[in-house]
Amino acid sequence: MTPPSTPPAPPTRGYSWYALGLLALINLLNYVDRNVIYALFEPIKRDLALTDSQLGWLGSAYIFVFSVAALPFGVISDLRSRRAVIAGGVTLWSAFTFLSGLVNSFGQLFTCRALVGVGEAAYGPAASSLVADYFPARGRAVAMGILSSGIALGGVLGLLLGGYLEGIYGWRVAFMTVGVPGFIMALLVSRLIDPTRMPARLTVRSFLRDFEIGVMPLLRNLWPLLAGIAAGGVAAYWLDHYYGADSQVDLAVFSGAVGLGLALTIFRWVRRTPTDGGDDTPFGSGISGAFDDIVRALRIVLHTPTLVYLFAAGAMISFGLNGIVGWGPTFVTRELGLNAGEAATLLGKWGLISGTAGTLFGGVLADWLRRRYETARVIVVALGLLLGGPLALWLLTIRDPVLFQTVFVVTFFCLSWYNGPMTATIFDVVPARISATVAGAYLLFIHLAGDAIALPLVGTLSDRFGLDRAVLLLPAVVIVGGVTVLGAMRTVGRDMHRQGVERQ
């Protein structure tokens, strides 16, 4: 769908808040489905006979695919219908969250979690870009904070629901239950009005037409990736039987085959991308600007000092915080002597309150301070991390449940400040035309360089040194991320003025 020459009338303030509420609710479900597995690590390990290292890989299965898919979905969101990207993504991740409850092996669960990552990768860049257009300047950090509240709220709710449902019905029913609401949300978001693009009803037929999707074009342009998946799957199946379920050889071979297929696919696209403004692109004229947008986005990142600081710090934050969220329930179960339900209740109940309050507080504080200081959003991000990081380090040395709960509340409150101001700052310093592409690049980088490494690394260190020692690495990296963010204080004003962002 070609963008209209005359943009539609701006949405009313009331409709903007409705859209924000819907997208925030979907983000909550996003993180529920993403994090529910962490509350189920112990029963999954027992039933499927897994190691801690394999548990870590189950976390990274989602993260690796999510990270790689975020950038292409960001490009598609800039070029095509953001509603279609979100609706399709929500449907996909909900379906494979539900199917995760039907698996019988590590490989099957690994595959389901990877495909959950594909669906959720479609959501982040498109939703952030939509919210940025609903709230162009005034209140943007607050709006991003509300959108990001799903990170803390959904993340801990996923732990809470996972532990509660597992205790009553088992881990399989827990997966299936949290997957169902997403189908309803996909229907609602498909009817959302895009604030900058011509309104049109979104149907299955229009979805396929909007992306110019056809079976033969897909097969013709994705055959190296599909061949890699097929060959890797066959090889992994054989190696699993030959070496046994505890071996990581099957997973390594499968990952390598898929990675090679993806690399060959992208290489073919690049070779076929015209440099003279022609239209011979892999998926037709609609995607003719995709590679140009990726290159432009990467150039903007590298030539915008604020983004360099935020990308580097974001990777460290992702490494530390998502690593703590991922291994937190297992750590509490083992070190405080609680069962899975009690651990999820301890973290979920108070995390729900402190995380949501911290996210909203960070957005409000950043917007309030920005009336006087253009570096306010960066200051709030750094302050939250530098307060919460040392508290998290102390938290992981506590073995008294009462004291642990108290310190956890304060720690999680401070560590949640960064969500809204961080995202708002990124959109402050990039052109609106490629904002979703840059957001996708950000997600790709921070997760590949962050929690994709943290989860299996902590699992491997746990197998060798114990989980109580392995987790101490996580808050230490968060502290380094807080220090790194401070570098953006010198550059954010200049980068905002270059994009014409005024203090409001």
Q: Distance between CA 386 and CA 379 in Å, rounded?
A: 10
Question: Residue 204 CB: number of other CB atoms within 10 A?
Answer: 9
Among candidate residues 37, 344, 351, the one with its CA nearest the CA of residue 163: 344
User: Does one domain contain both 115 and 240?
Assistant: no
User: Does one domain contain both 168 and 230?
Assistant: no
Q: Distance between CA 68 and CA 121 in Å, rounded?
A: 8
DSSP state of 245: T
pTM over 0.75: no
DSSP state of 198: -
User: Does one domain contain both 20 and 66?
Assistant: yes
Q: Distance between CA 61 and CA 155 in Å, rounded?
A: 17
Q: Distance between CA 438 and CA 441 in Å, rounded?
A: 5
Per-residue pLDDT at 1: 42
3-state DSSP helix/strand/coil percent for the chain, to nearest 5? 80, 0, 20
Q: Which helix (H) or strand (E) holds 14?
A: helix 13-39
Q: Residue 318 sits in which domain range?
A: 13-212+284-498
Residue 1, in any domain of the structure: no
Residue 5, in any domain of the structure: no
Residue 330, in any domain of the structure: yes
Write the secondary structure of 254-314 as one string of H (helix), E (strand) and C (coil).
HHHHHHHHHHHHHHHHHHHCCCCCCCCCCCCHHHCCHHHHHHHHHHHHHCCHHHHHHHHHH
User: Does one domain contain both 263 and 114?
Assistant: no
Q: How far is CA 98 from the centre of its chain?
A: 19
What ranges make up the beta strands (E) of 76-175? Answer: none
**The total number of structural domains that make up the chain:** 2
Q: Which helix (H) or strand (E) holds 253?
A: helix 249-272
Of 251, 283, 315, the residue at which a domain comes to its end is 283
Of 248, 263, 283, the residue at which a domain comes to its end is 283
Contact 173, 46 (CB under 8 A): no
Distance spanning both ends of the chain, measured CA to CA:
34
Per-residue pLDDT at 82: 80
Map tokens 């150039």 to a residue: 299
User: Does one domain contain both 203 and 341?
Assistant: yes
Residue 8, in any domain of the structure: no
Structure tokens at 416: 């949640």
Per-residue pLDDT at 287: 42
Q: Distance between CA 231 and CA 237 in Å, rounded?
A: 10
Per-residue pLDDT at 245: 47
Structure tokens at 12: 């009313």
Residues near 2 by Cβ (< 8 Å), separated by ≥ 6? none
Q: Which helix (H) or strand (E) holds 76?
A: helix 52-79
Per-residue pLDDT at 85: 83
Q: Distance between CA 383 and CA 235 in Å, rounded?
A: 49
User: Does one domain contain both 290 and 278?
Assistant: no
User: Does one domain contain both 327 and 348?
Assistant: yes
Residue 89, in any domain of the structure: yes
Structure tokens at 196: 């900058």
User: Does one domain contain both 208 and 232?
Assistant: no
C-alpha separations of 195 from 3, 74, 221, 368, 474 in Å? 12, 17, 33, 26, 40
Q: What is the CA radius of gyration of the chain?
A: 22
Among candidate residues 102, 126, 115, 134, the one with its CA nearest the CA of residue 186: 126
Residue 2, in any domain of the structure: no
Q: Distance between CA 479 and CA 476 in Å, rounded?
A: 5
Structure tokens at 406: 């108290």
DSSP state of 501: P
User: Does one domain contain both 264 and 300?
Assistant: no
Q: What is the pLDDT along the chain (504 residues), one digit of tens a residue?
A: 444 445 556 667 788 888 888 998 898 888 888 888 888 888 888 888 888 778 877 877 777 777 677 666 766 666 667 888 888 888 888 998 999 988 888 888 888 888 888 877 778 778 877 887 888 766 666 787 778 777 767 777 887 788 888 888 889 999 999 989 989 988 888 888 877 665 555 444 554 454 444 455 556 666 776 777 778 777 766 766 665 544 455 555 665 666 566 556 655 554 544 433 444 444 444 444 444 555 565 666 677 788 888 988 998 998 998 888 778 878 888 888 877 667 767 777 777 788 888 888 988 888 888 778 888 888 999 999 999 999 999 999 998 888 998 999 999 899 989 877 888 888 788 776 666 677 777 877 787 778 777 877 888 888 888 888 889 999 999 999 999 999 988 888 887 777 654 444
Q: Over the range 153-165, which residues count as b (16 or more CB within 10 Å of their CB) and which as e?
A: bbbbbbbbbbbbb
User: Does one domain contain both 312 and 387?
Assistant: yes
Q: What angle do CA 38, 44, 49 make, to 5 degrees?
A: 135
Q: Distance between CA 447 and CA 438 in Å, rounded?
A: 14
Amino acid at 412: F
Of 283, 305, 330, the residue at which a domain comes to its end is 283
Q: Distance between CA 288 and CA 301 in Å, rounded?
A: 22
CA max distance for the chain:
66
